[in-house]
A and B are shown apart, each in its own frame.
Chain A
Amino acid sequence: MMRSLYRSMLRLHPPGFRRQYAEEMLWIYDETAGAGAISLLADGFFSLVRQWLTLPGTMTLAAAGFGGAMQMALFLVMTLPMMSLSPGVLYVRRPILPSGMPDVSTVRFSGNWVGTLRSTGPSGPMELILFNNGAAWTGKLYLQGQDGVMHGGPLEEIHVDGDALRFRVEAGDAYMTFSGHLRQGKLTGILEATANGARFAPKGRKVGEGTWVMDRAGARRQPSDSLPRQA
């Protein structure tokens, strides 16, 4: 259990450091197992904090986050007295930060993809929402189905490394893998879909491919949380 905890902590390190040293650190953990697992965990934790704090851009993001929080606090203080509050429910539109980002920890992109995915036709709009809680990335992807509705699913296996982004979405009967880069504000990349074996094709068979281009976007309406079946 302690080993799993240590390995999980290594996974939370910045990607560059993790790729370079995580295996070796785990090997050392195995070599020294039993001799102070708690101190190794503490050492790993401090390393984790140091690595993120010394990562280029982290301090900028932290400062932006602090600025955003201050703006949000100011906005709430000024707005709340004017709002009639219904018990337990409050909807506040987020303020726009000077940097143009709607929220420092949530980034939205919207754009189009072109390809051969059978459930959506030859092309269509897509939306991507990425959220970083400081330790890990989560997110959702939405594609427009043939019914004209935006359908979405949670992102899995998200890898962010510099300007490179890769993730996977289980879309009905297929796994869809996206990989791309953020350059000059545009997120561009490649989409590959393989059957998950649920219905129409053997697991692992390629069932779609395409390219996608997205720009950073503002808040949109909340689409449904299911992707159309690949029928």
Chain B
Amino acid sequence: MTEDLSPFLPLSPATLHILLALAGEDRHGYGIMQEVARQSEGQYKLGPGTLYDNLEKLMNLAMVEETPRPSPNEDSRRRYYRLTGLGRRTLTAEIARLDTVVREARLRLRVPSPRRAS
């Protein structure tokens, strides 16, 4: 049976970047912010408020879950988050959707704009 992920799509930019940041490895909140800045080459900066608003939603949707700290010596305020299976599938579906959009956009932008009648 095919899973219908369409209710979750399209993802907001913040959600997309958070899921993408967690796709590679488990990270704490600040790590997610840094990874988002790195991935977007500093063009998209996520504040803690926006981050945790979205993390809360993603955790409620079971796309992200909290995971134990890799080292018990770490600052207790650091909590780690990881992508769940649903989160990964949703991210994959969003990337496929964006891929279609980008392909279509490239195709359209190559077509010269109609000339005005002089």
Contacts and interface: CB of A to CB of B under 8 A. Distances in A.
A28 B45 CA distance: 14
A153 interface: no
B30 A47 contact: no
B52 A40 contact: no
Interface in B36-67: 47-53, 55-56
Interface stretch (A17-25, A57-65, A196-204, A218-226): A17-25
Contacts of B28: 24
Chain B interface mostly helix, strand, loop or mixed? helix
B56 A43 contact: no
Contacts of B49: 25, 43-48, 50
Nearest to B52: A21
A40 B53 CA distance: 14
Contact of A23 (B33, B50, B53, B77): B77
Contacts of A66: none
A29 B48 contact: yes
A79 interface: no
Chain A interface mostly helix, strand, loop or mixed? helix
A20 B50 CA distance: 15
A31 interface: yes
Contact of A27 (B47, B50, B78): B78
A148 to B, nearest CB: 51
Contacts of A40: 47-48
Given A24-B78, A27-B30, A51 B47 contact: no
B29 interface: yes
B50 A28 contact: no
A43 B49 CA distance: 5
A188 B77 CA distance: 35
A51 B50 CA distance: 10
Contacts of A43: 47-50
A26 B56 CA distance: 17
Interface string B6-50: 000000000000000000000011100100000000000001111
A14 to B, nearest CB: 10
Nearest to A6: B48
Nearest to B75: A27
Interface of B: 28-30, 33, 47-53, 55-56, 75, 77-79
Interface of A: 17, 20-21, 23-29, 31-32, 39-40, 42-48, 50-51
Going nearest first, the 3 A-B pairs with the smallest beta carbon separation are: A47-B49, A43-B47, A27-B77
11 contacts: A21-B52, A23-B77, A25-B52, A27-B75, A28-B30, A32-B30, A39-B47, A43-B49, A43-B50, A44-B49, A51-B53
